[in-house]
Structure 1
Amino acid sequence: MIDGHTKLFGLLAHPAAHSLSPLIHNTSFQVTGINGIYLAFDVTSAGLADSLAAMRAMHIGGFNLSMPLKTDVLPLLDEITPRAERLSAVNTVINRDGRLIGDSTDGQGWVDALKQDDITIDEKVVTVLGAGGAGRAIISAAVDAGAKQVYVFKRTNDLFDARKEQLEGWSDVVTVLPYEDEGLIAEAFDESQIIANATNVGMAGDQSLPVSQSVMNHLTPRHIVSDAIYFPLETPFIHAAKQRGSRTYNGIGMLVNQAAGSFLEWTGQRMPIIPVIEAVHQAVLQRSKN
C-alpha cells in the first residue's frame, strides 16, 4: 500500500513506456513486502541533469538508465564503481544521502543467470558475439568471474582497432577477432564451453542467425548457449542451438538478474528471482500475441 513512507525508484529512458523494469521491481516489492514503488520516466539526454537534481532534492532511492543515458550520466554523478568505470557506462544509480553513485549490473546479471543453474564461468572458455553495450558488459563480467579465455567477435569497422585495444586492455584472457572470419568463429566455438550472442540479430521478428548455419553446426550438447535477447523468447539462434542439443538460455535471466543487482543495492534485500522471472515470461508471451 502506498503511503507517506513509500520509497520511489524508477527508470530514466527514451522511450520508457515499453520497459519491463516496472513489472520486475514492483513484483519484487510486492513479494518481499518492501514499501517501494518503481515508475518509468520518459527522459532524454537534455533532461537528465534536471532529473538527477530532482533525485537528490526529493530523496528518490535510485534509478536505472538506458542508452544513451548510461553514458550521458557519467559526469553528473558523485562516484562510479570500478566496473562502471571500466565500461564507461552506468545502468544503476543509488542515492546515498544525496550522494549519487553509479554502477553497472548488466554483465553480472548474465553471470548470475547462469549461476542459477549451477553454471560457473571460472576456468571456462567463452565466446561473445558482438562488442556493443551488452557485449562489453558480458565480457567484463566474464573476466571478473575468472574465465580462462574470452573470444570476442566484432565487426571490422572504424571502431574495430580502438575497441580491440580497449577490451584486450582489460585482461590478457580477452582476444578480439573480426566477425567476418567464420573460420575463426568455428574454431572458437570448438574451444568454448559457453557462447553468448550479444548482437541484436534475431530480435523481434528478425529470422536471421548471428552466424551461418555451417558455424552453428559446430555446436554440440556440451555447449551452453545464451542470447541477450528476450523478445522473442526463442530467437533463431537459440532455436538452432537447441537443434544441436546445446543447453540454451534466452535473455530473461540476464534481464531479471541485472535488475536484481540494482534491487540489492537500493534495498539491501535479494530479489525474489523465480516469481519475477515467471511474471516477465508471461508478459513477453502476452506481447508476442499482440
Structure 2
Amino acid sequence: MIDGHTKLYGLLAHPAAHSLSPLIHNTSFKVTGINGVYLAFDVTSAGLKDSLAAMRAMNIGGFNLSMPLKTDVISLLDEITPRADRLQAVNTVVNRDGRLIGDSTDGQGFVDALKADNISIDEKSVTVLGSGGAGRAIISAAVDAGAQNVYVFKRTNDSFESRKHQLESWSNVVKVLPYEDEDLMARAFDHSQIIANSTNVGMAGDQSLPVSDRVLKHLTPQHVVTDAIYFPLETPFIHAAKKQGSRTYNGIGMLVNQAAGSFLEWTGQRMPVKEVSESVQKAVLKRENN
C-alpha cells in the first residue's frame, strides 16, 4: 500500500511504456514487503539533466536507464563504479544522501542467471556474438568471472579496430575476431563451452539466425547457448541450438538478474528471482499471443 513512507524508484528511457522493469521491481516490492514503488519515466537525452536534478530534489531512491541515456548520464553523476567506468555505461543509479552513484549490473545479470543453474564461467571458454552494449557487458562480466578465453565476433566495419583495441585491453583472454570468418567462428564454437548471442538477430518476428548453418552444426549437447533476446521467448537461434542438443537459455534470466543487481543496491535485499521470472515469462507470452 502506498503511503507517506513509500520510496520511489524508476526507469528513465525513451520510449519507456513498453518496459518490463515496472513489473519486475513492483513484483519484488510486493513479495518482499518493501514499501517501494517503481515507475517508468519517458526521458530523452535533452531532458536528462533536468530529470536528474528532480531525482535529487525529491530524494528518489534510485533508477535505471536505457540507451542512449546509459552513456549520457555519466557526466551528470557524482561517482561511477569501476565496471561502469570500464564499459562507459550505467544502467543503475543509487541515490545516497543526494550523491548519485552509477553502476552497471547488465553483465553480472548474465553471470548470475547461469550461476542460478549451477553453470560457472570460471576457467571456461566463452564465444560472444556481437560487441554492442549487451555484448560488452557480457564480455566484461565473463572476464571478471574468470573465463579462460572470450572469443568475440564483431562485424568488420569502421569501428572494428577501435572496438578490438578497447575489448582486448580489458584482458589478454579476450580476442576480437571478424564476424564474417566462418572458419574462425566454427573453431571458436569447438573450443567453447558457452555461446552467447548478444546481437538483435532473431528479435520480434525476425526469423534470421546470427550464424550460418555451417557454423550451427558445431553446436553440441556439451554447449550452453544463451540469447540476450527475450521477445520472443524462443528465438530462431535458441530453437536451432535445441535441435543440436545444446542446453539453452533465453534473455529472461539476464533481464531479471541484472534487475536483481539494481534491487540489491537500492534496498539491501535480494530480489525474489523465481517469482519475478514467472511474472515476466507470463507477460512476454501474453505479448507474443497478442
Which residue number in structure 2 is paired with residue 151 of structure 1?
Answer: 151
Question: Structure 1 stretches of 5 or more lacking a match?
Answer: none
CA distance in 1, matches of 2:181, 2:208: 18
Which residue number in structure 2 is paired with residue 193 of structure 1?
Answer: 193
Which residue number in structure 1 is paired with residue 161 of structure 2?
Answer: 161
Question: What is the SS of the residue equivalent to 1:157?
Answer: coil
TM-score (norm 1): 1.00
Question: What is the SS of the residue equivalent to 2:114?
Answer: helix
CA distance in 2, matches of 1:42, 1:80: 23
Which residue number in structure 2 is paired with residue 179 of structure 1?
Answer: 179
CA distance in 2, matches of 1:63, 1:42: 13
Which residue number in structure 2 is paired with residue 42 of structure 1?
Answer: 42
Which residue number in structure 1 is paired with residue 248 of structure 2?
Answer: 248
- Which AA in structure 2 matches 1:104? S
Which residue number in structure 2 is paired with residue 258 of structure 1?
Answer: 258
Which residue number in structure 2 is paired with residue 223 of structure 1?
Answer: 223
Which residue number in structure 2 is paired with residue 83 of structure 1?
Answer: 83
- Which AA in structure 1 matches 2:120? T
CA distance in 2, matches of 1:103, 1:86: 10
Offset, 1:182: 0.7
Question: What is the SS of the residue equivalent to 1:153?
Answer: strand
Q: CA RMSD in A?
A: 0.3
Question: What is the SS of the residue equivalent to 2:143?
Answer: helix
Offset, 1:15: 0.1
TM-score (norm 2): 1.00
Question: What is the SS of the residue equivalent to 1:240?
Answer: helix
Superposed, 1:1-290 pairs within 5 Å as 1-290=1-290
Identity of aligned residues (%): 83
CA distance in 1, matches of 2:219, 2:46: 46
- Which AA in structure 2 matches 1:155? R
Offset, 1:85: 0.1
Question: Structure 2 stretches of 5 or more lacking a match?
Answer: none
Offset, 1:213: 1.0
Offset, 1:210: 0.1
CA distance in 1, matches of 2:225, 2:39: 33
CA distance in 2, matches of 1:96, 1:187: 47
